[in-house]
């Protein structure tokens, strides 16, 4: 990778991906795009930025032609809970945007990345140690989009020789970007509420195990995969990824190591709980480890310490 164009740059993953790529490849070599302008004092605003609605193919092509990237990272998508509220819009944005991005990659001979998700699995998928290759029958629009996206990327690789690569992300936890409509967002919001209020009401019920990963590990995994030798990539669209399988009570106990008075309550959201119940409890990441050296650095305790310290620092600056 030398020049990278990133869609959805102001989203949960895109925000930190842009910063890391600019640090590695040079500020002017990473074009960030999104449907709205970044805040003037944000890190995203300190480099190339363009407005882009990913459903606008003409505009997307104009930006590719002018910036001349060699790599396209397509991060723009509607998340699980938000997609379930407006499934038709989710299909148009998630699939229409992906098709436009893949066509751009084909037309301009670009290396291509887009994330899939554990949402691509469903209730008939084995829930424990979910295999890399297994049945995928999701029951949410978001999940349907992700399965279709995996198949579409594989099609473009096999039919048009586009160098497509992808991962199935678990829940991603970060102190940079606050929750934005995902089923696993409780594991982000709980840290912010612990610092700010000392208590949290979880919309996901206790004993609901889901795979999670600290955002720094997620960003590193994207870059590592994109830099990997393509000849070794057998399951390129998309690799199972995870660093920990956790449920709300485990997060509570980790937080109580630093905030002993922290309290966790439950106000279960039936929509998001149903989505969570359809996902695996834990997934097998052995293919990613074997094929390109995936090796996350953060477990629950290490992540909790970093999250709480970072949020505390953010609160001090804002107060």
Q: In this structure, are residues 102 and 162 in contact, taking their beta carbons and an 8 Å threshold? A: yes
Give pLDDT, residue 232: 96
Q: Which of 12-16, 37-41, 283-287 has the highest mean pLDDT?
A: 283-287
Q: Which helix (H) or strand (E) holds 112?
A: strand 111-113
CATH of domain 174-212+242-318: 3.40.50.720
Indicate whether 137 pLDDT > 70.
yes
Q: What is the mean pLDDT of residues 234-254?
A: 97
Give pLDDT, residue 146: 97
CATH of domain 4-124+132-171: 3.40.50.720
> In terms of pLDDT, which residue wins out, 115 or 39?
115
DSSP 241: -
Question: CA 97 to CA 108: how far, in whole Å?
Answer: 17
Catalytic site residues?
Answer: 142
% of the chain at pLDDT higher than 70 = 98
Q: What is the mean pLDDT of residues 297-308?
A: 97
H-state helical runs in the chain: 14-25, 57-67, 80-85, 87-108, 141-160, 186-196, 215-227, 248-256, 270-277, 286-292, 300-318
| 316 confidence band (pLDDT: 50, 70, 90) | confident
Indicate whether 139 pLDDT > 90.
yes
DSSP 45: G
pTM above 0.85, yes or no: yes
Give pLDDT, residue 1: 81
Give pLDDT, residue 180: 66
Indicate whether 317 pLDDT > 90.
no
* Both structure tokens of 315: 């609160």
Indicate whether 181 pLDDT > 80.
no
Q: What is the mean pLDDT of residues 161-173?
A: 96
Give pLDDT, residue 195: 96
Indicate whether 215 pLDDT > 90.
yes
Q: What is the mean pLDDT of residues 273-295?
A: 95
Indicate whether 80 pLDDT > 90.
no
Q: Say yes or no: do domains 4-124+132-171 and 174-212+242-318 share a fold.
A: yes
Write down the domain spans for the chain: 4-124+132-171, 174-212+242-318
Give pLDDT, residue 319: 67
């Amino acid at each position: 990778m030398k020049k990278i164009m990133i869609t959805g740059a102001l989203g949960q993953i895109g925000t930190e991906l842009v910063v890391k790529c600019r640090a590695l490849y040079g500020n002017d070599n990473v074009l960030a795009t999104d449907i709205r302008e970044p805040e003037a004092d944000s890190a995203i605003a300190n480099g190339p930025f363009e407005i882009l609605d990913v459903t606008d193919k003409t505009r997307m092509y104009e930006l590719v032609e002018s910036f001349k990237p060699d790599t396209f990272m397509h991060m723009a998508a509607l998340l699980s809970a938000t997609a379930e509220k407006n499934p038709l819009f989710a299909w148009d944005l998630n699939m229409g945007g992906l098709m436009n991005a893949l066509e751009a990659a084909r037309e301009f001979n670009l290396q291509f990345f887009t994330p899939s998700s554990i949402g691509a699995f469903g209730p008939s998928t084995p829930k424990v140690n979910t295999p890399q290759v297994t049945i995928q029958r999701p029951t949410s629009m978001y999940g349907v989009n992700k399965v279709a996206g995996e198949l579409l990327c594989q099609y473009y690789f096999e039919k048009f020789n586009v160098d497509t690569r992808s991962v199935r992300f678990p829940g991603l936890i970060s102190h940079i970007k606050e929750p934005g409509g995902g089923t696993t967002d409780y594991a982000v919001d709980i840290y912010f509420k612990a610092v700010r209020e000392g208590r949290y009401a979880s919309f996901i019920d206790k004993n609901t195990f889901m795979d999670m990963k600290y955002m720094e590990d997620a960003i590193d995994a994207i870059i590592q995969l994109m830099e990997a030798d393509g000849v070794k990539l057998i399951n390129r669209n998309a690799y199972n990824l995870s660093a920990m399988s956790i449920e709300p009570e485990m997060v509570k106990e980790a937080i109580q190591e630093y905030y002993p008075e922290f309290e966790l309550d439950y106000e279960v959201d039936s929509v998001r709980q149903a989505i969570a119940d359809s996902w695996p409890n834990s997934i097998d990441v052995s293919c990613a480890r074997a094929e390109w050296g995936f090796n996350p650095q953060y477990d629950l305790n290490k992540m909790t310490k970093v999250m709480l310290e970072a949020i505390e620092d953010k609160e001090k600056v804002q107060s």
